[in-house]
Amino acid sequence: MAEVTVDVRDGLGWVTIDNPPVNALGRAVRQGLWDAVATLRDADVRAVVLTGAGRAFVAGADIRELGQTPVEPYLPDVLAAIADAPVPWIAAINGLALGGGLEVAMACHARIAAPSAKLGLPEVNIGIIPGSGGTVRLPRLVSMATAIKLVTSGKPIGAQEALESGLVDRLGEGDLLAEATAMAKDLAASGRPEPALARDLVAGDPIDWDAQAAQLRKRSRGAVAPLEALASLKCAARDPVEVALAGERERFLWLAASEEAAALRHVFFAERGAGQALKQAEAVPADLSRVGVIGGGTMGAGIATALLLAGSYVCLIERDDAAAQTAKTRVADTIAASVKRGAIAATKGESALARLGTDTEYAALRDCPLVIEAVFEDMGVKREVFTKLDAVMPAEAILATNTSYLDVNLLAETTKDPSRILGLHFFSPAHVMKLLEVVRGEATGARALATGGALAKLLRKIPVVAGVCDGFIGNRIMAAYRRDCEFMLEEGALPHQIDAAMQGFGFAMGIYAVQDMSGLDIAWAQRRARAPHRAPEERYAHIADRLCEAGRLGRKTGKGWYDYASGEAEVAPEVTGIIEEESAKAGRTRKVFTEQEIITRILATMQREGQAVLREGIAESADDIDVVMITGYGFPRHKGGPMYMARCAD
Ligand code: NAD
């Protein structure tokens, strides 16, 4: 089956890209397009309609080919041939037009899009930039400000926005191909429009390139591709077309061979490969159109919001009517904030909220095939919840816990059928964060696992399967490096130095700023609960405990690892004093840590704990660990993850 088919009908040429699943622009498609241009140049056609078979126009390059030596025909040459065609080529954008796909569409002389189409240049997400004239053509179709947004963010836009910005010329409201035919005939009659490269830049407000670069540098946290994309657009604004095209290609080629792009490709495939056990679970998942949530605090309300926005009905159980009302308000506020941010339409928010029911009786959950518990992190409270659920729920219902640390096997003991119990560890805010740790207990059955997989799919989350241990994959690794950071404090570092090193490496925030934001008291309670089980010879830093004893519980108390009296985080002399006292008590001579030493040590701890997690079978693969640390804990994506970095260093 040819990847590109050519047809002549009704005086028009028809070119269809058919390379399932998403019409990626591999070598065969490029060759097919190249041949199509040649065939149609000699055919008696007045215009050509180019479209994609299936749900995509062209969703991008074939990522497996990136990072290898490019093979002919090269995309820039194919696109130049399309643009040079004697008759107009019309891109009929039936679905996704991303990356190289949008570059193909931009090389055509006109564009018509289905209202459901999505268009974008997401190259920076895999460490590269458009490499076939995308940054030179784009500002000749849309304003430079829009071009900068599209190329440096990598975020796609919808067809309506594409129409308003000038990226497409028309929307095909009804039958796209029929409307493309009409457009082709119009253009055949009126004459071929100039190809993008022959047009002037779209007029717009002048761009302050230095300010743009400064902003982007801050946002991209050490990733270079977004800055190179901006630089390429700046050349497009300033240089003759040929110079800008050659410069873009040069940047594209060196970026494609860069460590950053290799790391981002690793993450791309690791995310798609995550959660293998869920894909293999041969069982019919529970129906998710109605889901129960117990506890409507931070997490329960977030989980309910995610479910409601995905179209499910939610029955939320709280301890009493007042708590139920508070939970409902929390969900309503979260949805309202999403509407205000423009993340969802107001009507979608309203219908989501209308699917929320609250109750105080577990009997209300009986028709929910899945129930997710998100009550206090306390084994006694959770066991009571599961005992009650076991008594009330039909035998086939799947029961999940959102516990962060507790033993899922012990919770499963409270039920007659432990195969229906699993952990579903969401991250806060649950309606935003992409990661879902699906925790498999000793007895968790295939149906429970399949339900975890189906839930991740419904909520568009990335599921990673974790075994039972203290903290599963992510919290366990984080606890390990948090402990080691406290040892570094004892040995001579200060919190702001560790945070600066982490931010310099690419984390959005350092570990102490994060702790201040989420509060120090929960971890304190955990340490106190574990104190009796600690071996006397185990090294233990008392610094965090002393902060809590001094009422320094984080931002909510106006002070934690930092002082917040001014509203900003400032180095706290009291904390420095406590740290120095604890160093002395532990008999340590304080030394100066460089940023590199701090990062090397944090990475080594993450990697050591990651290896243990793998050895013990808690994670299915090293790639899954990278996915957890990147999507759940702010590890910089463009570094590929701690396990990937360890592999590269070998
Ligand atoms: P929270 O204190 O904000 O909310 C807990 C809610 O549960 C409260 O609204 C409380 O009224 C309700 N509740 C308590 N006992 C109940 C019962 N018997 N029946 C019905 N409702 C009951 O806590 P949270 O931060 O939402 O955490 C909930 C769970 O999620 C914990 O197990 C926690 O470890 C886990 N978790 C938290 C986070 C986080 O970032 N906060 C992240 C992942 C997982």
For the record, the structure tokens of 307 come out as: 């479910």
pLDDT digits (tens, 9 = 90+) for 535-589: 989 999 999 999 999 999 999 999 999 999 999 999 999 999 999 999 999 999 9
70 lines ligand 1 (CB under 6 A): no
User: Is 66's pLDDT higher than 80?
Assistant: no
Architecture field, domain 3-257:
Alpha-Beta Complex (3.90)
Which has more confidence, 102 or 343?
102
ipTM over 0.90: yes
User: Is 607's pLDDT higher than 70?
Assistant: yes
Nearest C-alpha neighbor of 50 from the set 99, 75, 74, 83: 83
Shortest-distance Cα residue to atom 44 of ligand 1: 404
pTM of the complete model: 0.92
Per-residue confidence (pLDDT) for residue 86, from 0 to 100 = 95
Residue 592, judged by CB atoms within 10 A of its CB (0-12, 13-18, 19+), counts as: exposed
How many C-alpha atoms does 155 have within 13 Å on its Cβ side?
Answer: 7
pLDDT digits (tens, 9 = 90+) for 356-412: 999 999 999 999 999 999 999 999 999 999 999 999 999 999 999 999 989 999 999
What would the DSSP string read from start to end of 247-307?
A: HHHHHHHHHHTSHHHHHHHHHHHHHHH--HHHHH--SPPPP-SEEEEE--SHHHHHHHHHH
300 lines ligand 1 (CB under 6 A): yes
Long-range contacts of 598-604 (CB under 8 A, 24+ apart): 598/488, 598/493, 598/497, 598/498, 598/501, 598/502, 599/501, 599/502, 599/504, 599/505, 601/484, 601/488, 602/481, 602/484, 602/485, 602/498, 602/501, 602/502, 603/642, 603/645, 603/646
Q: How many CB atoms lie within 10 A of CB 351?
A: 13
Per-residue confidence (pLDDT) for residue 281, from 0 to 100 = 82
- Per domain, the residue ranges of the chain are 3-257, 285-466, 474-617
158 lines ligand 1 (CB under 6 A): no
d(CA 511, CA 503): 10
For the record, the structure tokens of 315 come out as: 């029955």
d(CA 384, CA 378): 10
Residue of 123, 318, 486, 490 marked active site: 123
Give the CATH fold of the 474-617 domain: N-(1-d-carboxylethyl)-l-norvaline Dehydrogenase; domain 2 (1.10.1040)
Classify 190 as helix, strand or coil. helix
pLDDT digits (tens, 9 = 90+) for 239-292: 999 999 999 999 999 999 999 999 999 999 999 999 988 988 889 999 999 999
Contact 23, 53 (CB under 8 A): yes
Instruction: Give the position, in ligand 1's atom list, of the atom nearest the Cα of 404.
Output: 34
Residue 409, judged by CB atoms within 10 A of its CB (0-12, 13-18, 19+), counts as: middle
415 lines ligand 1 (CB under 6 A): no
pLDDT digits (tens, 9 = 90+) for 492-507: 999 999 999 999 999 9
What value does the mean pLDDT take over residues 216-226? Answer: 95
Shortest-distance Cα residue to atom 1 of ligand 1: 297
User: Is 228's pLDDT higher than 90?
Assistant: yes
Map 404-430 to HEC letters. CCCCHHHHHCCCCCHHHEEEEEECCCC
User: Is 115's pLDDT higher than 70?
Assistant: yes
Mean pLDDT, the chain, integer: 96
d(CA 170, CA 575): 62
400 lines ligand 1 (CB under 6 A): no
Query: Class for domain 285-466, per CATH?
Result: alpha beta
Q: How many CB atoms lie within 10 A of CB 553?
A: 19
Instruction: Give the position, in ligand 1's atom list, of the atom nearest the Cα of 384.
Output: 18
Please report the beta strands in 284-379, taking only residues with DSSP state E, as ranges in sequence order.
290-294, 313-317, 356-359, 370-373
d(CA 44, CA 25): 27
d(CA 559, CA 572): 8
d(CA 262, CA 14): 37
Strands 435-440 and 421-426 come out as antiparallel
Contact 377, 404 (CB under 8 A): yes
What value does the mean pLDDT take over residues 307-331? Answer: 98
Is 549 marked active-site?
no
User: Is 463's pLDDT higher than 80?
Assistant: yes
Contact 224, 122 (CB under 8 A): no
For the record, the structure tokens of 467 come out as: 């075994």
Give percent above pLDDT 70 in the chain.
100
374 lines ligand 1 (CB under 6 A): yes
**415 alpha-carbon distance from chain centroid:** 35
254 lines ligand 1 (CB under 6 A): no
From ligand 1's centre to the CA of 402, what distance in Å? 8
Per-residue confidence (pLDDT) for residue 515, from 0 to 100 = 95
Secondary structure percentages of the chain, helix, strand, coil, to 5: 50, 15, 35
Nearest C-alpha neighbor of 496 from the set 398, 563, 543, 443: 563
User: Is 324's pLDDT higher than 80?
Assistant: yes
Cα separations in angstroms, 174 against 24, 95, 114, 170: 26, 14, 8, 12
Per-residue confidence (pLDDT) for residue 164, from 0 to 100 = 98
Per-residue confidence (pLDDT) for residue 1, from 0 to 100 = 67
377 lines ligand 1 (CB under 6 A): yes
Is 377 marked active-site?
no
Contact 341, 257 (CB under 8 A): no
**62 alpha-carbon distance from chain centroid:** 20
pLDDT digits (tens, 9 = 90+) for 67-89: 778 889 999 999 999 999 999 99
What value does the mean pLDDT take over residues 165-185? Answer: 96
d(CA 78, CA 57): 17
**Residue in 319, 515, 631 to alter for ligand 1 test, most ligand atoms within 8 A of Cβ:** 319
Contact 403, 382 (CB under 8 A): yes
d(CA 644, CA 646): 5
Please report the beta strands in 300-409, taking only residues with DSSP state E, as ranges in sequence order.
313-317, 356-359, 370-373, 398-401
**Residue in 331, 375, 386 to alter for ligand 1 test, most ligand atoms within 8 A of Cβ:** 375
Residue of 3, 103, 373, 582 marked active site: 103
Looking at the chain, the number of H-run helices and the number of E-run strands are 27, 20
Residue 497, judged by CB atoms within 10 A of its CB (0-12, 13-18, 19+), counts as: buried
